[in-house]
Amino acid sequence: MSSTSEWQKRIEGEWHGRPGLFDAEGNHVGFERVDRASVVEDGVSRYWMNTQLEGAGPLRNRFELGAHFDFGIVDSDENRVYCGPDFYGTGQPYGLFVEANYYSPGWQADLRTWNQVLADGETQVYSSVLHDGWAVCAVFNGIYKRTFDHHTNPETQQFVDDWIALETSRGSRPQVLPTKEKGAWTGELFVNPVDQSDAGKVSVTIEHDPLSLRRARQQVTWSGDLERSYGFERLRDGARTQYEGPDVWGNAISYGRALFTGQHLMNADARGVEKIRGREVLIDPGTRELAVVWQLLRGETTTHFVHGLLTWESA
């Protein structure tokens, strides 16, 4: 029997969340209450999810299956292969982050899932972007907490109930950064090259200077095992955001508090033109903690994943 992967060890236990469901335009249309676990039993790995979908409209019709998900996994630190019958595809771990791409016959959708375990080991930041071909048809995203005795411990059950209530209150809120308050997000992020090795950490600062209720100037500085510095103005238009130079051009769309970005870095010097495909999740509008995953590319070739938690401080 092969040894358990490091990623499998990181996601032991049962995880509880209530991810929001959004349509392709970023409108909140429902929730899915989820308890899930990836388990190894008698040397065989499997993933189960108990789900309860709430909402209305065509997405409710499409995603209501009348059964819980259960599927086999080939567990590996190189590739986690999803063997059906409910999901088929693969995922690659990068330290505390896994990127997965798989197909759901029940939902008739191709999913790209980013699952980020924060450094506390007890919190997962989750999103699944669902596609029809190349077109987005829906998005699920939310925050999960881990337990080991939920079925037997009343205190744990109350903790989960409180967490689900908190997620319900903030899961549908759109990502709106401070509009009249200067400050900065700072923190130390993990760096994993595309070969899935550990390349250390990078200290990141995002200086934030609001210019109006919809426009802000940001300066982003990386220092440590990767060095970057770039500035831009960003304009929020409903769920959409535009990055309007001078160093970054691109756009983004928010599905609730999760902003999915495409940024072209135009001051990359000898490195060539770089891009960031990212997800930035404002976990709580009160604390303004920002969980980020940045996929760094040179041309269309991924070079690194940079991920972790940034904390806010007012200027």
- The pLDDT tens digits for 102-130 are 999 999 999 999 999 999 999 999 999 99
DSSP for 104-140, written as a single string: ETTTTEEEEEEEEE-TTSSEEEEEEEEEETTEEEEEE
Looking at per-residue pLDDT, the higher value among 267 and 12 belongs to 12
With a pLDDT cut of 90, the percent of the chain lying above it is 84
The answer to whether residue 6 scores a pLDDT higher than 80 is: yes
Low-confidence winner among 38-47, 124-133, 224-233 (lowest mean pLDDT) = 38-47
Report the alpha-carbon distance of residue 52 to residue 89 in Å, rounded: 24
What is the average pLDDT score of the chain? 94
Question: How confident is the model at residue 2, as a pLDDT?
Answer: 53
Contact 161, 33 (CB under 8 A): no
Q: Is the pTM of this model over 0.75?
A: yes
Question: How confident is the model at residue 40, as a pLDDT?
Answer: 79
- The full set of domains in the chain, from first to last, is 6-170 (2.40.128.20), 183-314 (2.40.128.20)
The answer to whether residue 191 scores a pLDDT higher than 70 is: yes
Tell me the mean pLDDT in the region 22-33: 96
Q: How many CB atoms lie within 10 A of CB 66?
A: 6
Tell me the mean pLDDT in the region 63-88: 91
Residue with tokens 């870095």: 265
Q: How many CB atoms lie within 10 A of CB 134?
A: 6
The answer to whether residue 296 scores a pLDDT higher than 80 is: yes
Report the alpha-carbon distance of residue 100 to residue 114 in Å, rounded: 6
Looking at per-residue pLDDT, the higher value among 32 and 39 belongs to 32
Q: ∠ CA(139), CA(284), CA(110), 5° rounding?
A: 15
- The pLDDT tens digits for 132-174 are 999 999 999 999 999 999 999 999 999 999 999 999 999 999 9
Q: How many CB atoms lie within 10 A of CB 87?
A: 23
The answer to whether residue 225 scores a pLDDT higher than 50 is: yes
Residue with tokens 């976990």: 283
For residue 43, name the pLDDT band (cuts at 50, 70, 90).
low
Looking at per-residue pLDDT, the higher value among 276 and 300 belongs to 276
Question: How confident is the model at residue 67, as a pLDDT?
Answer: 87
The answer to whether residue 270 scores a pLDDT higher than 60 is: no
- The pLDDT tens digits for 202-219 are 999 999 999 999 999 999
Q: ∠ CA(60), CA(61), CA(66), 5° rounding?
A: 90
Q: How many CB atoms lie within 10 A of CB 96?
A: 19
Looking at per-residue pLDDT, the higher value among 21 and 9 belongs to 21
Question: How confident is the model at residue 1, as a pLDDT?
Answer: 41
Report the alpha-carbon distance of residue 218 to residue 241 in Å, rounded: 13
Question: How confident is the model at residue 269, as a pLDDT?
Answer: 56
**Beta bridge pairs of residue 115:** 98, 126
